[in-house]
Amino acid sequence: MTSVLRVRAWVLTGLLCFALALAATCRAAESSDIQGELVRAQLLAEQDAVSPGAKVTLGLHLHHAPHWHTYWAMPGDAGLPTRLRWELEPGYSAGPIRWPVPTRLEVGELANYGYEGDVLLPVSLQVPEGARIGSTARIGAHADWLVCSDVCIPGGADLTLALPVRAADQVHPSAAAGAFAQALREVPVPTALQDARAVVEGTQLRLEFSAAKAVPRSLEFFSLEPDRIVTAAKQILSVHAKRVRLQLQAQTPAQTDFTALRGVLVADGGPSRGGWAAQIDVALASPLAAESPRPPSVAAEPAGMPGRAASGSGESQAPALFSSPIALFVALAGAFVGGVILNLMPCVFPVLSLKLIGLVKHRDEPPAALRAHGVAFALGVVLSFLALAALLLALRAGGAQIGWGFQLQSPLFIAFLIGLFFLIGLNLLGAFAFTFGAGLANSRAAQSFDGEGPRGSFATGVLAAVVASPCTAPFMGAALGFALTQSAAIALSVFALLGLGMATPYLLLTLVPAWLERLPRAGPWMERLRQAMAYPMFLTCVWLFWVLGQQRDVDAVAWVLIALVGWGLFAWSVGLVQRGARAFRWVAGAAALAAALTMVPLARSGSHEGASPPQALDAVGEDWAAWSPQQQRAALAQGVPVFVDFTAAWCITCQANKRLVLHDAQVQEAFRRHGVVLMRADWTRRDEAIARELERFARSGVPLYVLYDRKGAPHLLPEILSKSIVLQELAGI
């Protein structure tokens, strides 16, 4: 009887599983059908044929179901623009979408730019001169869109079009020519408005120009750049003696690169309703970025006071920076103290420990020789920090959004560091004698560059600075942020103090030899310690492999592992050469070349246009969301507190804070109890939005922790977190 019941149970379970699978299949098919009903896509041409060397206008025609919409080139507070990926025959080329005037679509306190009903998105197609008359031009395109109403559904379609190739006098308008004429009328034309100017007045942005003809009865501005204006805010038109004024609400605080108002002006409903549309680019007479907002750690001012965030904007307020002697002194002192503390960072300690071993070995040398070691090391550190700072300032002057530690956003640079630390570890284990130019170890040049002399100390200083730069010690973040907002001379002074602070402990040991007497005497223990120090180097390689995996993928890790096999063969061969087996020079050279070439694929970018942004690292279930300005604004608009963790895989301090504090059960419970929305801004790979957000707080590196209270006022937490600090801040919101 029991066996019969068991069989029945298995049968019923199987039938239930089959029913669930069938239901899931039906729901998937139903979803596909619904998506097809929401948007119908078609590829059209303005003419019935193409001719050699001419241009023809193609168009993506979208028909939306009632109350559903897709998005414009700049979607507004949310959404994604429609994209086209072309599949063309050789010689054919397609231009960008020429976007017709959109409609502003309000959703609660947010607003989007998009299209409802029917829309035709024109694109110009260039036909090659060699197109053969009598043949057929086969055109393919893959369209991707996001269609939204109360919910959003991504969609797409593979579209094709075949057009005959004829002589120019045999080409005629197609049946869709009228729709193309209407769509092209709606495409705004770049226009220089008469006597145009854009002026900042607190949180308001005023656009003025002189009406060349009829004064518009209505006027609407669509921004072509994100985070410039509050999309959902009311736009107020006023006219005085043919001087047109449009009042907009600016996002606060403004982006630092906000120097011009770029977008589309639509007057009197646009060309289809007797009005006009113009694409404009008007320089700001008083950029918002020039204002000095209040420090984020102070209490919020009463409504209407200068410096307060606009209601519902959700944007942070940057700390006020003043070019006063006191501020400069504080920045220099913070840089020096932060540099001293860098010596305690895990990423730096293995390198410095090698020099301490060297000091013990050389402490019986004359004081002048010891001082030479200290000065050489200090010069290596300071000059390296100055060089990195100069490069950072130069790139920023060219418009790049990068911050301190930017070199570890390059997979190729990480691969270089892995190889370098791996070779250092093999050197410490005695596989070969490491000097600069190891492949020419017997040459006069290599012999004159003694790895244990002052030149070796200088090289170690350079290596320590390169490894230390991603770390942001306490006091250091604010000092670096201050430096990057000042003149080049002040910025370089701050970076020089940072390097001097890092070099000071080592320099003092060489200037005061008596302190070295407290260290153990030289002996066999030094060789054992030297070999033991190889393992922190290998652990550093493990950490860098993890960083590389976060930036790229397992294939990149595999390529670098293969390269390490080559570097291992190189080190073994060099060791044999140094012991007299000179025939292995060719093996060493070939192994080094093969290892270097293996790393070449990492030189290509780890991401491409249109790729999804990197997800937050080590997210705890669904508690942490990937940060974006739009998500942050949406959360703050609901009056809930928000905590943003600006982090990176290559930042040791970030990872320590994450595991010891942010993921602590007591802290997580406090976040849930106070209803805090948790967001993580992952800067492992270069992300200009995160770089701009860091810049708003006068920071150039991570970690950065910002807690927004229920009024949207930001509060900065220190770089080194503790449970008590976080819990105390949460209690105050």
Instruction: Write the pLDDT tens digit of every residue in 323-352.
Output: 445 556 766 777 787 777 766 655 555 555
Torsion angle, alpha carbons of 339, 342, 344, 349, to 10: -120
Q: Return the DSSP state at 583.
A: G
211-270 tens-digit pLDDT = 877 888 999 999 998 888 888 888 999 888 788 999 998 887 667 678 889 999 999 888
Q: For residue 170, name the pLDDT band (cuts at 50, 70, 90).
A: very high
Q: For residue 103, name the pLDDT band (cuts at 50, 70, 90).
A: very high
C-alpha angle 647-650-652 in degrees, rounded to nearest 5:
80
Q: Which CATH architecture has domain 38-185?
A: Sandwich (2.60)
Equal fold, 38-185 vs 189-290: yes
Domain boundaries defined on the chain = 38-185, 189-290, 624-731
Residue 681 contacts residue 647 (beta carbons within 8 Å): yes
Q: E-strand spans in 351-474?
A: none
Residue 644 sits at φ, ψ, to 5 deg, of: -115, 125
Instruction: Break the chain down into helix, strand, coil percent, rounded to 5.
Output: 45, 20, 35
pTM attached to this predicted model: 0.41
Classified as helix, coil or strand, 705 is strand
Burial label for 613, CB within 10 Å (0-12, 13-18, 19+), is: middle
Residue 252 contacts residue 313 (beta carbons within 8 Å): yes
Classified as helix, coil or strand, 196 is strand
- Decide the pairing of beta strands 204-210 and 260-267: unpaired
Q: Which CATH architecture has domain 189-290?
A: Sandwich (2.60)
pLDDT at 338 (0 to 100)? 73
> In whole angstroms, how large is the CA radius of gyration of the chain?
32
> Cα–Cα distance between 287 and 261 in angstroms, integer?
10
Residue 471 sits at φ, ψ, to 5 deg, of: -75, 140
pLDDT at 496 (0 to 100)? 86
Across 108-112, 440-444, 473-477, 706-710, the highest mean pLDDT is recorded for 706-710
> Cα–Cα distance between 698 and 686 in angstroms, integer?
18
Asked if the model's pLDDT at residue 630 lies above 50, the reply is yes
The verdict on whether omega for the bond into residue 703 sits within 30 degrees of 0, i.e. cis, is: yes
Q: What is the topology classification, in CATH, of domain 624-731?
A: Glutaredoxin (3.40.30)
